[in-house]
Structure 1
Amino acid sequence: MTQSGYLLLGLTAVVGALVAVLVFAVLRVGAAARKASRGARDGAAENAFLAAALQEAVAKLKERERASAARATASERLSGEIIVSMASGLLVVGLGGEVRILNPSGLQMLGLELIADDARFQTLLGASAPALVAAIEECLTSRHPIVRRAVDVQPAAGTAGATHLGVTVSPVLDESGVLQGAAAARSPDTANEASSPG
């Protein structure tokens, strides 16, 4: 063999080695790509599972929220129906003196017609039931219930005689124990059992 034959053989060996290195590199890159793809598929499946679980949890939470809102609405409606249906008069006032609730029996008991939305109990009852105003103010000041206090309600013009009632006034507290107002209700069997004022 001649020198050019050896040179050609050497170049062929070098090119073969380079091709082998190139094939090895391509195979490694391909394996890495397959591994990354498999990991991404596994990660995508895991992410899809987590997303589905999160969506299910959010759906359950929304359903609970809707159910809770429906219960609250039903409870509020029932409370309103109970207040309106009570045979005992009920008057609830806020700290600022605003009348929050006055049921139909309370209107009748106090000899009142409809009242304004911004009515204050002192103005509303001052002339006809000053002892009731005093009992409510005492309850708001002391934060203690006033049990079976006797009060006289003066009749509206054109009606006969004062009405003698026994009332119980209780403080209205929120869940933290903070005073929010007072609730006055006609005590049962008030004509015989009401104590005198003071």
Structure 2
Amino acid sequence: MEKAIIISRCSTNENRQDVSRQSEQLTSTYSNQYKIVKEFTYYKSGTKNDEVNAEILDYAIKNDVKHIIAIEISRISRKISSFALFLEKCNENKINIIIDNFKLHTLLPTGEINGMVQTMLSIASTFASLELSMIKERLNSGREKFIRENGYSALGRKTGSKKDNTKLLSEHADIVKFLKQGQSVRNTMKLTGKSNGTIQKIRKLVA
């Protein structure tokens, strides 16, 4: 069997996108096709993981790994430039990237570049980046709405205090995500492990 690496990444420690779930799913799907020699499972923003991606590439090249598997493109990177560089390095070293949710392979069985798939992934990386921009835009919109209607931060500080609403929303991005999905406060508590009071504060900002 040819060697493969699994990448499982999340931005926050949340149950819905738990790295172990990603890893288990990919192992179950691909262990009968490839020899899984290493799993890179970690929590880090998809815009700040260039160092980890460099480590992954270094390991793959040094250990003659032929396939790198991720559940979706954003698990590799949410930055268009970073994914493009990662893809270029893989092409140079004849390493096939497998994106599980679309069952896409960047290289053909012959080892040649799969031009159509790589074009599709370039477009997909753009959407992954846009998705993150939209999340940030919604956070900022919620913050502005709260300030406009209330004038105080979720912690009772006046607008303009050092720990402003933007930082609070950023720190609790997992709560924001679940509330935007329509999850109840109780379910959000279970999914994030955070208190009712914290979730109520965030809900006021994003309502």
TM-score (norm 2): 0.21
Higher relative contact order (CA 8 A, sep 6+): 2
Greater per-residue strand proportion: 1
Q: Mark the structure with the bigger radius of gyration.
A: 1
